[in-house]
Amino acid sequence: MEPLTAIVPSAVRTILQKGPMSPGKLRLAWRVAVGSAMDRATTVKLIDNATVEVTAEDLAWRREVKRSQAMILSRLQDLVGATSLTKIKIIARAAKA
């Protein structure tokens, strides 16, 4: 019998790799790839059908996403398929008026 911790990532990967990319699929993959703290501090959207645009809550989170960008992209590609996502673009959150 395999432990649940070994089965869940494989099941999530199988589900995410089926069908076309969608905003919901991207948000789920992002949450799994980066963890709950970074997920709460960022928002993501798909642009150009293969680029993940990441808006970070503040400068510290932008730095952390930038520092971890290669690892995050690798994790996302592992979850949704290597050709589905090819780039991460980090942008600043617009200042509130």
Q: CA-CA-CA-CA torsion for 44, 46, 52, 58, nearest 10 degrees?
A: -30
Overall average pLDDT of the 8-31 stretch: 85
Rounded CA-CA distance 29/49 in Å is: 15
The encoded tokens of residue 68 equal 């971890």
Q: What is the pLDDT of residues 57-72, one digit of tens each?
A: 899 999 999 999 999 9
Place of tokens 């590609």: 77
Which domains, and CATH codes, for the chain?
4-92 (3.30.300)
The encoded tokens of residue 72 equal 């995050």
Its pTM stands at 0.85
Query: For residue 84, what pLDDT band results from cuts at 50, 70 and 90?
Result: confident
